Amino acid sequence: VQLLESGGGLVQPGGSLRLSCTASGFTFSDYAMNWVRRTPGKGLEWISGISGSGGTTYDADSVKGRFTISRVNSKNTLFLQMNGLTAEDTAVYYCAKGQQVYCTTTSCLFDSWGQGTLVTVSS
């Protein structure tokens, strides 16, 4: 299993950024995928998840209404569209593979992770 994130960078407050995660080594559509970020202050924070088909999404309150997770199974790619960025969104963003097609209560742990992409929100 390999997960490779891209799209991070420096963005001004209020700006937007789109992260991508390209997956290989497994049948992408068979597994839920997630975005988890790491900040110096909060450590790891799960922020968004999507079912294998893409039909069901889940977001943490901290990003609800600002971030949108999506996937294109034909291209083995996961996305995170981030709008309305603030300094509190500065973090390393990881894509993480779930263990089942849906991430539900008692099943949502992450068995493979990418190396992360850094997002810095600053003027």
> Interface with another protein by CB under 8 A: which residues?
3, 42-46, 58, 60-61, 94, 96, 103, 105-116
Question: The tokens of 23 are what?
Answer: 């997956």
Please answer whether residues 79 and 18 qualify as being in contact, where contact means their C-beta atoms are separated by less than 8 angstroms.
Answer: yes
Q: Which is nearer to another protein, 88 or 111 (CB)?
A: 111
Report in angstroms how near the CB of residue 108 gets to another protein at its nearest.
5
Max Cα-Cα span within the chain = 41
Report in angstroms how near the CB of residue 13 gets to another protein at its nearest.
25
Under 8 Å CB-to-CB from 106, ≥6 apart: which residues? none
Q: Which is nearer to another protein, 11 or 36 (CB)?
A: 36
Q: Which is nearer to another protein, 16 or 115 (CB)?
A: 115
Instruction: Give the helix/strand (H/E) hosting 71.
Output: strand 67-72
